[in-house]
Chain A
Amino acid sequence: MAIVEARGLTKVYGTGTTTVTALDHVDLAVQPGEFVAVMGPSGCGKSTLLNLLGGLDTPSEGTIEIDGEPVADMNDDQLTMLRRRRFGFVFQFFNLIPVLNATENAALPLTLDGVSAAEARTRAEEWLRKVGLEDRMRNRPDQLSGGQQQRVAVARALVTNPALLLADEPTGNLDSRSSDEIAALLKQASEDWGRAILMVTHDIRLAAHAHRIVFMQDGRIVDDAKINGAEDARKAVEKVGLL
């Protein structure tokens, strides 16, 4: 069974004459352990798709099932619980709470879930070590570089052992060295730790680690290519004509 499955997913913003159809009858499923990259020009609806699948927003039309359960039947608290336990999020901006240190930020989903403080800290520290931040665990976000902040965000996203990691342009705001570090981390999350990943990116080097690239344009999926390695990725991109 797919972790998430969307059918006929449509999202219309605005009312009256000034409506924007950000997403137009999209079908998409992410299987356990699968690494899916979403690519497409700016404004084509990638973030909208990711937000809907992650239960952050509600569709105008169409259905989403998470673990086979229709999202439409869930209330806010149930959706919150799903986000807390089944998903991990990494965003482009504003990822961390400024008044909490790296460990506290990484432990946040556990703390929110009522896990004891000691256990939450141990598990957060374990993940911070895995993302290479063992010497930055007590630092607050303003004392970390952008790449380090994003690694804390990845640790936070993985700390609950979620079924699916959702990442919206996780390297969009980083220099190329930091981007490579994040790319390596995501690859590891998929291969070593077996997480399913749905990731929006413009970066072909990042997309090259995926099993599948979904191409979007004007709110529709225009291509869905299985890939294996950088060469496949490059070909798929060329075929759609994105480069």
Chain B
Amino acid sequence: MNIAVTLAWRYLWGRKLRTALTTLAVVFGVSVLFGMGALIPTMSETFTKVLFASAGQVDLSVTNASGSTFDSSIAEQVAGVEGVKAATPVLLRPVGMPKTSPVSSIQVAGIEPRTAEKVRHYAVGQGVMLSPGDRGVVLLGKSLATQANLRVGGYFDIPSINGTKRYRVIGILGSASPPGTQEAFLTLADAQQLFGEGNRASEVDATFVNGVDRTLVEARVRRELGSDYNVGGIAPGSELLSSLKMAEFIFNMFGVFALAMGGFIILNTFRTVVAERRHDIGMLRAVGARRRTILGIFLVESLLQGILGTALGLLAGAGMAMGLIAALNPLYKRLVNMTVGAPQFQLSSLTLAIVMGIGVTVLGALSPALAASRITPLEALRPQVGEVEDRQRGRRAWIGVGILVFSAMGLVSGNASALGLGSVGVLVGLVLVAPELVGPISNAFAWLIDAVFRSEGEIARSNMQRQPSRAATTAAAVMISLAIIISLLGVMSSIVGGFLDYVDKSVAGADFIMLPTNLLLAGGNVGASNELVTDIRNTPGVNAVATLRIAKTQVDGSPAQVIGLDPVEYPKVATFEFSGDGQTSDIGKLAHGRGLIANGLFAAQNGLKVGQRVKVTTVNGEKTFSIIAIGSDYLNAKLATVYISQERLKEDFGTESNALVLANLSPGADAPQVKRQLATLVADYPQLTLYDTTSFKETQKVTMSQVMIGMYGLVVVLAIPTLLALLNNLAMSVIARTREIGMLRALGSTRRQVRRMVMAEALFLASVGVTFGVISGIVLSYAMVAATNNVGWKIPFYFPTGGVIAAVIAGFGFSLLAAVIPSRSAAKLDIVAALHYE
């Protein structure tokens, strides 16, 4: 075997504990990257599969470019194209089911019995297929029939815009539905009535004549329909899908972050290792090892650790993905009624995990390895031990100070990109100045720690200050973890605070609110017809009623939801949060011509200004609208949204059903009495849930506190790399001072004193990390909130008190936890062996 490999292997094997600890850092990062990289695509794929299961046998699918429904006669146009065998209109909608139903959501498909079977095969197992002219009957998917315990001849209730409708089951499909889908088929006419969609369809499916050139036929269809229609692929517009994408991104970031921490740990370890082996290295050089050989030893060592850590990480990640799917499936099933299958491990995430895992390890070892290769043979002859501190430290600290000054300027400037740079700068700057501050900060904490640890505290402090660079690297790792914890919790508490503020303001006027029950399916929810709204308006004690209607569109090519509101009624009940010069009277201006109000998020994302003209994709092609104001209601602040009048929405998008209803009490009316009456009205619309504003706020608060609890849970996971960094540092500190500890014991230190000495050192390390972490965390959370405001999503800055407390507890708690093993092994050292330790 090559000498570098032999030596690398022997050294690793000779320090099993340290090797294990360092490897653990890699294992953790790789497992997150790989496990999550497998889990989340699996989840979204299941979702996509279910959504588009019906597209299976279809050659071509046509949707409107706006994402909205369109005239079903388009199907005839498609059928007329040369090469198309058959085309059929479909009105497809997910429907949230009432809480009393055995399934939480179903997928309703309105199909045209005359043409449907020419495009897709319906294997009816019991009963019969839908026939042309059928009304009030439903064909159920097998799994829905089983879950709802229905037979042919039974009845099935589906929420409609005019209250719950009852359908007679005339048939049940024989073949199993795609996993997790609960399908119900109605005639197109019934479905159009159910959803208030006139004679519209959401897509047209077509099959081709056998043997035709598919791309040619596709092109012909495209030419026939023009640019208002998307032909071919079905664009997944699901919100759940995009939030899964977001989750995937976040977990990838977290994996990368965990690995970066791993890199820090490796850097620290290898620095110590190089210092420890100065004599060996010098000796090797003296007997004829070239610089390259020395470099090779350390790189091979890191490579071995990288490979080992990555391999274990991949295993752990696979286990984690499978475990999480098993754990999440019940929840997932309840929320969206789907079961996720075994995780699919993709080559890309495997490659990413391997490259990152091994790459970070080798990269972390690179600078210490280069330093090692520069050690002269004379080092073998010098009896002095201990690390030689970096002579460039002073200069680096000044660079750090410079970066901090610039970052501070960036942070106060308020400019979005300066904010981003500034917050990264704060972290980098602190890492650079950290070694200089290790002494002063730990001295500042000395009175506290000494009070508990007395003499051990003093030794511990000087032990740590002897290696300011190593302490600083550990502190930096702790700092970055804690900064992220604090800023995450800070942003969350700002969002929650701002959110509750918003709730207060937005529904300030409204006394009652009727919200879609299944918020998750917001895009596909069945609304309520105007009959319900009229009934509410005529309820004694109700003074004013406003509603929101929703359709999908694209504004200058960017997808957005378009909300229709009544320019006269809406301001009577609720308000808008405006940016700039916008005011409530702007809502009234929606009544005339083609004007819209864009919400802050959408305006910021697309750089929209008041007065600007934009192209909005409607069902009838592109129309030009002018921007009246920038502002938002509260519910839609987080989604890209434009507001137009309900008249316009009907004309341009054909939507007339109401997604959300707000109502106000007349002065002096009996609120509980009115609420009871409203509840009776809404009872037939299980897709809507009635809240009075106070209970609504309560509900929101409860939801928010659940979110916060979830965040605190995430914080624990985020802090794991901190734990590893501290553990690693302390273990190395003990190993490096084995002989000294032996001497202390020989001179009469008790085991307890040695143990407390290591504990105290852990606390000193934590004090430095926590101080840095708290400072940078506060700065980061401020910057993140400011940046959020910059992209048009207004939230006030709330000081992250909870985050700071959590970080302080996590930092010090973990430092003590990390000290458990090293302090024990230090206390248990055999005195004679320790004295002879080299």
Contacts and interface: CB of A to CB of B under 8 A. Distances in A.
Interface in B603-628: none
A5 B218 CA distance: 89
Contact of A100 (B10, B282, B378): B10
Contacts of A98: 14, 280, 838
Interface string A91-102: 111111111100
A56 B284 contact: no
A51 interface: yes
Given A98-B838, A112-B293, A117-B1, A91 B288 contact: no
Interface stretch (A30-38, A78-86, A234-242): A78-86
A122 B594 CA distance: 94
A80 B285 contact: yes
Nearest to A108: B287
A94 to B, nearest CB: 4
Given A91-B283, A97-B280, A168-B381, A112 B288 contact: yes
A109 interface: yes
B376 A56 contact: yes
Contacts of B285: 80
B608 to A, nearest CB: 64
B378 A51 contact: yes
A121 interface: no
A47 interface: yes
Nearest to A101: B10
A232 to B, nearest CB: 30
B236 to A, nearest CB: 57
B17 interface: no
B693 to A, nearest CB: 73
B288 A113 contact: yes
B400 to A, nearest CB: 28
B14 A111 contact: no
A94 B3 contact: no
Question: How many of chain B's residues touch chain A, expressed as a range?
Answer: 20 to 34
A231 interface: no
Interface string B389-409: 000000000000000000000
A109 B838 contact: no
Contacts of B280: 94, 97-98
Contacts of B288: 80-81, 83-85, 109, 112-113
B284 A97 contact: yes
Contacts of B290: 76-77, 80, 112
A181 to B, nearest CB: 22
A199 B196 CA distance: 104
Contacts of A94: 279-280, 282-283, 380-381, 838
B381 A51 contact: yes
Interface in B790-838: 836, 838
A83 B10 contact: no
Interface in A99-138: 99-100, 104, 108-109, 111-113, 117
B163 interface: no
Contact of A57 (B279, B291, B378): B378
A156 B287 CA distance: 9
A124 to B, nearest CB: 13
Contacts of A54: 286
A201 to B, nearest CB: 15
Nearest to B287: A109
A56 B286 contact: yes
4 shortest A-B CB distances, which residue pairs? A84-B288, A99-B10, A94-B279, A56-B377
Given A83-B377, A109-B287, 4 more contacts: A54-B286, A83-B288, A108-B287, A142-B838
29 contacts: A51-B378, A56-B377, A56-B381, A76-B291, A77-B291, A80-B288, A80-B290, A80-B291, A83-B286, A83-B377, A91-B380, A91-B381, A92-B381, A93-B383, A94-B280, A95-B283, A97-B7, A99-B10, A99-B11, A99-B13, A100-B6, A108-B3, A108-B284, A109-B288, A112-B3, A112-B287, A112-B289, A112-B290, A112-B293
